[in-house]
Amino acid sequence: MSNRRVVVTGIGVISPVGTGIEKFWSSLLEGQSGIGPITRFDASELTTRIAGEVKDFQVENYIDKKEARRMDLFTQYAVAGAKMAVEDSGMDLSQVDLNRMGVILGSGIGGIETFEDQCKVLLNKGPNRVSPFMVPMMIVNMAAGQISIHLGAKGPNITVVSACASGTNAVGDAFKLIQRGDADIVISGGTEASITPLAFSGFCAMRALSTRNDEPTKASRPFERDRDGFVMGEGSAILILESLEHAQNRGAQIYSEILGYGSTADAHHITAPAPEGEGAARAMDMAINDAGLKPSQIDYINAHGTSTELNDKFETLAIKQVFGEAVSQVLISSTKSMTGHLLGAAGALELAATSLALKHGQIPPTINYENPDPELDLDYVPNVKREKEIKFALSNSLGFGGHNATVVLGKYSE
């Protein structure tokens, strides 16, 4: 059996720059930052006191309030995003074979808010007061489980945990599941809600976060000379993936076609990327080869672009290694400059942005690009969106532990 074509037909987004694809996409094109002072908890003693919080999410618009109280925030984001994506796809779930609909979701940290809250209960009130819902609220697979429960999806149900590559790995795995004929529809993407005291303290202790507390909207500055760390974000991005035949049979709109997937390991260090970005380069090579393309055919890269010293340097070196002389023709941007870094949901959010870029012929900018780094000399689409028809694009994600994932997307054409 030949490989089936796979397309993206629905998108649901909950992000620091807006909930819903219209608000999300317009904010990216306008270069609006979603970064501000932390309001969730008292961050006054932390070295970093800024984050990309979701500001416009009303859970009762998507989930019954009683049910929502039994879900960690990362699960609420996932279920709401999935319902938005299904609605956006125009799919009538009563008319599809739910045994052929799967869920593959990525999350790096899962229910950390529940974990922290119940630790306080244990220490302050004793073990008999710990909630019976603690475990099913906290475990990382529960977002995928709740999506299947709410939407009736009875196909493969899997959660990918590969740190900041989780969302991209999830979509890549979903692509392969449909391509080989094991499902017709997969609800895929990533979700994260880790703006909590413990998680934040851990990242601060690593000195991984920007300390530009007095200029929050300028703190995330990928590929720029004065970058000083990433900014944590939260939210979810859910994509509806379908076989092309299934999408055509129901007259679905199509955002983009998924063409290739690459996944590699650095086998190098728990947090630092491999020297010269060689692991990331292999993931890009693998994805481009899987798509049957040459690097010179790629028009746009939505980069991992975290705004950390080593990531941005080594990702640039990896791109140069893969693209060779063609590197001067490819446009690169990091939407993390606006959304912050959604950790396990980042790759999915960026694949949503890449799909929209392909559909609309517009490339979101890398904002806060004021002082070029002499070592990083590619076209990072600084500060202002770029109008350009894109035929092929790729999105990169790199995670702690040495996880690298790349997905290649194409403008849909019959």
Q: Which are the catalytic amino acids?
A: 164, 304, 341
Q: CB–CB of 7/254 below 8 Å?
A: yes
Distance (Å, rounded) from C-alpha 251 to C-alpha 202?
Answer: 48
Q: With the C-alpha atoms ordered 177, 180, 182, 187, is the resulting torsion angle positive or negative?
A: positive
Q: Which of 316, 333, 347, 51 is nearest to 208 (CA)?
A: 51
Residues ≥6 apart with Cβ < 8 Å to 228: 210, 211, 212, 307
- Compute the residue count for the chain: 414
Residues 396 and 301 sit within 8 Å (Cβ to Cβ): yes
Q: What CA–CA distance (Å, rounded) separates 334 from 340?
A: 10
Check: CB of residue 133 under 8 Å from CB of residue 161. Answer: no
Is residue 130 a contact partner of residue 178, using CB atoms and an 8 Å limit?
no
Task: Tell me how far apart the alpha carbons of residues 186 and 15 are, in angstroms, rounded to a whole number.
Answer: 21
Q: Which two tokens stand for residue 258?
A: 């998924």
Phi and psi angles of residue 87, each rounded to the nearest 5 degrees, phi first: -60, -45
* Residue 196 identity (one-letter amino acid): T
